[in-house]
Structure 1
């Protein structure tokens, strides 16, 4: 039988090695890197340039550290035993992401994920070699705990109103600090204030707190020094209070699950000590949570030094009491327990009784806190969150929906996956209802989507092998608390279990902690000598060649990406402050030279070119916009912003049929986006009415079919949403907008479905249009006139509400009012298009068929249509429309208003003044000059 080499023996054999200065420098740099990441490398959401640079910096720094590590340990590298193969197998993980690049639906996000995975593997390999030395292992454990304590302290500083001080501590190196404040360290949602610390997301912070609460508890129980016991005991209350302040239901549910699983690894005496220490800290935390919650809410509204001192008094006082009690338990109770239970620990299955009893205890506590009034001892917001823990709760139902939709993606991208960020790109195509979630809320499913079955098998084999071999070794040997790797098991298992319900691993720091933990477990796992001859020179050289070449190549890429990201971010800031085309363009061109598929840079440059074309009518700017967009869309075909920009290009080019095709061909990608279907139906309706006028039966039928089928898609979607469980949130709004009702109803009318057209109007003419539903003469000129003027009034009111909301800092409300404004204005514009289509059709009729109907558009229709175009930003269209309505009679109030808006539109777009109209208007009323200026200065 081959001899087993256990972790303790392996580590101790290396303890005699002298630690060189170069190794110590590597350890110091590695610890600094770990400390840098939580404050700098946040959530990878795949979209914003602000999130990019930290990813590339982490890849660069970890790659450099890996090269140094490889140089130091090159001669010591061997392939003698199973654990040595783990460090080799690790490089397969980024290779699976590199392989998925060939089929990635978003090359940009797939590359970012490749950088992140490379960082994880670099951390794993570096830690794998460093942690083999007991002293270095202990240094890294202490360092990681210290980082965790700093993160918790940072969060509490923000909760208790000291956000300026907290921001000043990290603002010099963190881009997340804006105006002296760490963004969303305390976030607000429908549940109220929630503590997030550096993560800016409460649920992931809860996962972090859970992992390091148990790590701190482990450090407390194992400590043999009084100061270590006091320090780790002191931190238990801040961890628990912070966890409660996150209001994370997932954290509260999974905390006892992970705790009981960890108890299974411990001897009975240790199990009791864990329960006692956690119980003491838990009771103290519950006692102070209510006042700390109240004070935090007050301090985040208005700072008060007395309230802050009071809050810190509660926290520090309770922490000190728990620390002293914890020391007393370890000083007196621990030896007694060890003596009493020492004999029982050798018996089989004795370690199961206390965890089984804990299950009962947890069940009782859950019943008291969820099912009875005992939850009233907690703050109201926490009590409400506990009360809502059930399988019919909306977040549970929504997660189940995400998981079902994720499996649809896997079915279509089974082998190599959809590439990094695949879910973020594809979810709107597969979603069951119109939710917004760029994360699956399950790390393993998201990983499966990104790298497919092949990559998922590689990853799961990697981590399951480490867990299996670690647990086998752990259960067979004497447990040395410093070298048995249990500290790393706690961190890894806690985060991964919580990641079954959330996207913790989308935070680079959390991923780094997991791979650091896997390395710590690998060092001490059960490891048999290899039977085959792996330790050959060519295999060793091959491994280092792959590792070195791959790392150097990624370093080269990361340097280029950092430069590109800097340029993109510079341009993004300039967009808000500069009016110079060349100044903004220069960094954008540089950014796109390195990454022509970079979505934000492509969007900003194409938008910039289109604006300049609007001013100069120079085709070269429009051509550049097209080149930039089409190149980016080659690698980002699901990017809605870029597709919308392409529509704008075609509209400016006068190729409205091509713009329509963009909407039609991509409708299936955004099946629950009502804005997309609103635009598709509007454009198809316009083309359909034109074909109807021209008596082109084939084209008419083609466009009419698109309108009616798209409308059916919307109505069926609305009916389906009614079948969702009442507890499940629908997500984004999905309804028959006034414009959809107007356009679909008109096509139904022209198709001979008069009753259906009236029913459609009833469904969509809401929120200000209700009085048009039962009109005696719908679809007539007077009816359209009323719809157009109402659309202007409603749109202008929404514009004012949006501006007011933005002034008050109510961004969400402002965005919604902006959406409402655009919907109202689109309805008016579509109604005006109907008027022109009807007029064109009437001109094809004979005098007898006309029966005295007018062939001109009423001035008030032109007036309101022009005003709608004006506040929609369509200045050229506005001047053209308003000019059509001008007459020679400046004694007429309507004509004067048309002239007023016409001249204001010319001034707004900086065109040459129409002096004739201006002179006549001023002659009629000199006060008109001031009114023209007032309109021209409107903030649109």
Structure 2
């Protein structure tokens, strides 16, 4: 029986076509929320002050939407079927992140990830129930597609040089606009400009585009209205063009895999139509690719209206022609094809042949594009990217390294993981070489790092159950009903498949789309009664509304408080840019730290103020406050390099060099490829060891020098290890012996009376020219060590004396010193 207030039918809710005003409010709110979210720098996962504000706003808005959902569905909440129990099972996902707080590498990042997981869980529950209503399902699907088309258009606006115009369009509500321009809508790297639209990262944009390319083709074939078919057909060229302009090799490599998986669930007639429409839109894209690509590259350098208009004309004309051709085929050819292949479609395994054939076609296409001159029809930037696709290519080798390093982290945090954001906090400790990557470039590996095997098993059980039950229900249903939810399968599956090789899910907006996809698939699952866990409606409502009510209250309080803290932190940052008032800046920072007492950005800024205060006044209170603040921060953020570095600096300012040395040595294992860290450790070891010479404590001297020489050997071994990297793999940051390292290590050897060792070590730092003071000092100590060891190097001696004749006296003095 239908409930007159909420417009929901208990037994046949999925076929219900009417919805109450409350449900329409919820649906419209969800759509507006997604539109807002898509332009908030794609809601990155909150690893800095720049990103955390949109995350907390997203949590507020999601929680309010969830509260409306609880009110709207209170009377029909049940826990009778397996599908119903998914609403409770999803709670385990944020709970596994809460559990990982026990061993979190970063409390700040871990808490943010808990909040993000709560956003995902609430969106899943909301959409799973909402999408069972046909009207709302249609509206939300149309809105998702419309949003995708807006994002595609927005990206192309930037490609054609309309940076200021595109910034003004969204600058009034988006935090992604800086100085009137959307931040990194065009991503520049060694390959040149790459299209990223709202995502700031081309590979993630490629995953988004691929999902909506296939969704566009599916919607085109499914739609009955001519103008809808024309719209979807029109957008195929802009989407394919944008996909190519991302220069994403990951997208191009994974596209055939996603395509084949999608085809497996379609009838042969539709499979053929997919091939035809993709080929037509691909041909249209290739025809205009060179002029549009060249126009965009020129417009990045200097905007001219004529060139931008020319680029738009190419794109629009090609899109119109493709749309009309596809519309005509869909109108006249598609029905005949469906009729002719009807008997074949009914055969067992009929849907397998074309996908298998597509694999062969993909191989042929790959051979042509990668190994022949066919590749030359593409622009140089794209052709070069294709040419470099191979298993020895640096991005492939680097990803393999990331995965191996992630396995090391998992081995140390096996069961419950190292907390949200653990990879970015820990990777410098476990990395094989000095790359810079705050992401593991594999969502699933990164997920295990964060929540361990336990959390990963729970997550995989959740998503595999949804996919399995969706496909099972899809096969059993008639074509009209099952197509109502196929969009959500394409959306989640595409992004997850591409996330095997990248960090797409680190963008919260992308994660939201994936969980909305899960919700859509769950809505399509045939409800199967669970007798053993069956509860009365009253008990089910009581359990769920209690959990939901507590969650809403807690999340609203937390999100509002965190928003306040974020505002205080931003206020302090703005004050610091315009004022030198210690009290004003401190007041804003204190307000943030009252709420989040170890917030890294505010803690670092406040401790820096204390350091400046101590330097200016020598007031011990400033020193003590700064040290206490940083020590407190490091208990919550033990791998935060900036906090450790700042604490070392405060100790040095105070003259507490022993404490500075202890920290530099203690944290060296966390930053094994930081060349500057080891240079400073070696220098401190020498300075402190040298100071003990007059104290009559040879054991202490030897301790400092031994530590410094061990650090030096670490650099030597690391530099040798880097020579073993596979050809083609980029090393990353520099990691090598510097003249300062060699000089200090050589001095320590000398002062330990290992003159032969000192000479051998110092000889490696002798330069061809001795114009630099450090280079001359290395030569001086080298020659003195040789004298002590009963040897000489006349060539180096002559070279040094030629630069400065006084060096002869300095060498003599050194050679007479006894330590």
The C-alpha deviation readout for 1:453-509, integer Å capped at 9, x for no partner, is 111111110000000111111112212267541100000000000000000000001
Equivalent residues in 2 for 1:295-694 (5 A)? 295-480=295-480, 484-536=484-536, 537-694=538-695
Distance 1:626 1:73 in 2: 53
Distance 1:249 1:779 in 2: 52
Instruction: Give the SS at the match of 1:281.
Output: helix
The C-alpha deviation readout for 1:428-458, integer Å capped at 9, x for no partner, is 1111111111101000111111111111111
Q: Shift of the alpha carbon at 1:737?
A: 1.3
Instruction: Give the SS at the match of 1:671.
Output: coil
The C-alpha deviation readout for 1:333-389, integer Å capped at 9, x for no partner, is 100101100111110011111111111111111111110010110000000000000
Instruction: Give the SS at the match of 2:780.
Output: coil
TM-score (normalised: structure 1): 0.81
Q: Residue 790 of structure 2 corresponds to which residue in structure 1? A: none
The answer to whether 1:224 aligns with 2:215 is no
Q: Shift of the alpha carbon at 1:44?
A: 3.2
Counterpart contact for 1:488–1:517, Cα < 8 Å: yes
Q: Answer 1 or 2: higher relative contact order, Cα 8 Å, separation at least 6.
A: 2
Counterpart contact for 2:45–2:113, Cα < 8 Å: no
Equivalent residues in 2 for 1:218-297 (5 A)? 218-297=218-297
Q: Shift of the alpha carbon at 1:618?
A: 1.7
Q: Residue 745 of structure 2 corresponds to which residue in structure 1? A: 744
Counterpart contact for 1:208–1:495, Cα < 8 Å: yes
Q: Residue 94 of structure 1 corresponds to which residue in structure 2? A: 94
Instruction: Give the SS at the match of 1:42.
Output: helix
Q: Shift of the alpha carbon at 1:15?
A: 3.6
Distance 1:596 1:350 in 2: 62
Counterpart contact for 1:473–1:526, Cα < 8 Å: yes
The C-alpha deviation readout for 1:257-316, integer Å capped at 9, x for no partner, is 100110000000000011100100001111111111110011010000000000001111
Cα separation, partners in 2 of 1:338 and 1:27, compared to 1, 3 Å: same
Distance 1:27 1:235 in 2: 25
Distance 2:355 2:192 in 1: 35
Q: Residue 718 of structure 1 corresponds to which residue in structure 2? A: 719
Q: Residue 799 of structure 2 corresponds to which residue in structure 1? A: none
Q: Shift of the alpha carbon at 1:533?
A: 4.6
Distance 2:420 2:572 in 1: 26
Counterpart contact for 1:91–1:121, Cα < 8 Å: yes
Counterpart contact for 1:130–1:136, Cα < 8 Å: yes
> Whose radius of gyration is greater, 1 or 2?
1
The C-alpha deviation readout for 1:106-151, integer Å capped at 9, x for no partner, is 1000011011111111111110111010110000000000000010
Q: Shift of the alpha carbon at 1:761?
A: 3.3
Counterpart contact for 2:739–2:775, Cα < 8 Å: no
Q: Shift of the alpha carbon at 1:572?
A: 1.9
Distance 1:764 1:608 in 2: 40
Counterpart contact for 1:226–1:327, Cα < 8 Å: yes
Q: Shift of the alpha carbon at 1:782?
A: 12
Cα separation, partners in 2 of 1:30 and 1:759, compared to 1, 3 Å: same
Q: Residue 778 of structure 1 corresponds to which residue in structure 2? A: 780
Counterpart contact for 1:41–1:55, Cα < 8 Å: no
Instruction: Give the SS at the match of 2:187.
Output: strand
The C-alpha deviation readout for 1:609-653, integer Å capped at 9, x for no partner, is 111221122222222212221121110010000001111111122
Equivalent residues in 2 for 1:16-95 (5 A)? 16=16, 18-42=18-42, 44=44, 46-95=46-95
Q: Shift of the alpha carbon at 1:777?
A: 6.5
Cα separation, partners in 2 of 1:671 and 1:780, compared to 1, 3 Å: closer
Instruction: Give the SS at the match of 1:79.
Output: coil
Distance 1:37 1:649 in 2: 41
Q: Residue 932 of structure 1 corresponds to which residue in structure 2? A: none
Counterpart contact for 1:12–1:134, Cα < 8 Å: no
Distance 1:45 1:435 in 2: 21
Distance 1:585 1:646 in 2: 18
The C-alpha deviation readout for 1:778-827, integer Å capped at 9, x for no partner, is 139999xxxxxxxxxxxxxxxxxxxxxxxxxxxxxxxxxxxxxxxxxxxx
Instruction: Give the SS at the match of 1:235.
Output: helix
Distance 2:13 2:540 in 1: 25
**Which deviates further from its counterpart, 550-559 or 475-484?**
475-484
Please give the root-mean-square deviation of Cα atoms over the aligned residues, in Å: 2.3
Q: Residue 207 of structure 2 corresponds to which residue in structure 1? A: 207
Q: Shift of the alpha carbon at 1:17?
A: 6.0
Cα separation, partners in 2 of 1:780 and 1:474, compared to 1, 3 Å: closer
Distance 1:724 1:766 in 2: 27
Distance 1:777 1:235 in 2: 68
Counterpart contact for 1:737–1:765, Cα < 8 Å: no
Instruction: Give the SS at the match of 2:597.
Output: coil
Distance 1:765 1:491 in 2: 60
The C-alpha deviation readout for 1:533-567, integer Å capped at 9, x for no partner, is 52323343122212221221111111111111111
Distance 2:817 2:681 in 1: 32
**Which deviates further from its counterpart, 578-587 or 722-731?**
578-587
Counterpart contact for 1:466–1:518, Cα < 8 Å: yes
Distance 1:719 1:758 in 2: 21
The C-alpha deviation readout for 1:713-766, integer Å capped at 9, x for no partner, is 110000000000110000111011121111101111222333433443344466
Distance 2:726 2:232 in 1: 46
The answer to whether 1:707 aligns with 2:708 is yes
Unaligned runs of 5+ in 2: 1-8, 786-806
Counterpart contact for 1:714–1:736, Cα < 8 Å: yes
TM-score (normalised: structure 2): 0.93
Distance 1:664 1:307 in 2: 58
Cα separation, partners in 2 of 1:426 and 1:764, compared to 1, 3 Å: farther
Cα separation, partners in 2 of 1:315 and 1:769, compared to 1, 3 Å: farther
Q: How many residues align?
A: 784
Distance 1:493 1:86 in 2: 19
**Which deviates further from its counterpart, 480-489 or 75-84?**
480-489
Cα separation, partners in 2 of 1:409 and 1:582, compared to 1, 3 Å: same
Distance 2:642 2:777 in 1: 39
Cα separation, partners in 2 of 1:646 and 1:560, compared to 1, 3 Å: same
Distance 1:669 1:330 in 2: 60
Distance 2:543 2:16 in 1: 30
Cα separation, partners in 2 of 1:11 and 1:331, compared to 1, 3 Å: farther
Cα separation, partners in 2 of 1:674 and 1:764, compared to 1, 3 Å: farther
Q: Residue 823 of structure 1 corresponds to which residue in structure 2? A: none
Instruction: Give the SS at the match of 1:500.
Output: coil
Distance 1:277 1:118 in 2: 39
Cα separation, partners in 2 of 1:526 and 1:759, compared to 1, 3 Å: farther
Instruction: Give the SS at the match of 2:250.
Output: helix
The C-alpha deviation readout for 1:844-863, integer Å capped at 9, x for no partner, is x9xxx789xxxxxxxxxxxx
The C-alpha deviation readout for 1:549-605, integer Å capped at 9, x for no partner, is 122111111111111111112222332332221222111111111111111110011
Counterpart contact for 1:761–1:773, Cα < 8 Å: no
Counterpart contact for 1:134–1:483, Cα < 8 Å: no
Counterpart contact for 1:414–1:452, Cα < 8 Å: yes
Distance 1:162 1:372 in 2: 36
Counterpart contact for 1:41–1:509, Cα < 8 Å: no
Counterpart contact for 2:58–2:119, Cα < 8 Å: yes
Distance 1:573 1:404 in 2: 42
Cα separation, partners in 2 of 1:782 and 1:611, compared to 1, 3 Å: farther
Counterpart contact for 1:185–1:195, Cα < 8 Å: yes
Counterpart contact for 2:743–2:777, Cα < 8 Å: no
